[in-house]
């Protein structure tokens, strides 16, 4: 039994995204600069993607465009911060896009771009505020 929708999605991912080794290296460096965000909190894993391939895994598992629309470029250009929220460490749950400067939520969506329940969204809002406060205090150290 073949899931043609999944195969088509995989093909779309492969056909649309090309990145160079230099971009992969640059992204890794950017991710390292943001690694202070990685943590466990309130039963969740808050994860900064470490490689461009992490975006591919997330996009495939969540059926979203985080990879095909090359959100890693937004991170390298300091436009957005992408965070993966997990209940289990290696199991995609919520994909979050924050504004790089303000840490305001641009997007926070579940699998198939499903909206989140209000309590979970509220948790992410509070997390974003905490991260912004932490970033500001890091800049003044």
pLDDT in tens, 57-86: 999 999 999 998 999 999 999 999 999 999
Mean of pLDDT values over 96-111: 98
Enumerate residues 6+ apart whose C-beta is below 8 A from 39. 45, 46
CB atoms within 10 A of CB 54: 19
- Residue carrying the six token digits 């460096």: 29
Strand, coil or helix: 44: strand
- Residue carrying the six token digits 């150290």: 141
**Tens-digit pLDDT profile for residues 13-64:** 666 677 889 999 999 999 999 999 999 999 999 999 999 999 999 999 999 9
SS3 content of the chain, % helix, strand, coil (to 5): 50, 20, 30
Say if pTM beats, i.e. exceeds, 0.85: yes
Kindly state the greatest CA–CA separation across the chain: 57
Strand, coil or helix: 67: coil
């Amino acid at each position: 039994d073949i899931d043609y929708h999944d195969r088509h999605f995989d093909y779309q991912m492969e056909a649309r995204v090309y990145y160079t080794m230099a971009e992969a290296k640059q992204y890794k460096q950017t991710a390292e600069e943001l690694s202070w965000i990685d943590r466990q909190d309130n039963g969740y894993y808050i994860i900064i993607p470490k490689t461009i391939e992490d975006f591919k895994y997330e996009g495939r598992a969540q059926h979203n465009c985080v990879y095909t629309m090359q959100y890693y470029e937004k991170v390298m250009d300091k436009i957005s911060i992408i965070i993966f929220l997990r209940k289990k460490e290696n199991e995609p749950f919520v994909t979050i896009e924050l504004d790089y400067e303000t840490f305001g939520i641009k997007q926070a969506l579940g699998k198939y771009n499903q909206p989140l329940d209000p309590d979970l969204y509220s948790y992410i809002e509070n997390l974003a505020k905490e991260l912004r406060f932490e970033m500001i205090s890091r800049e003044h150290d």
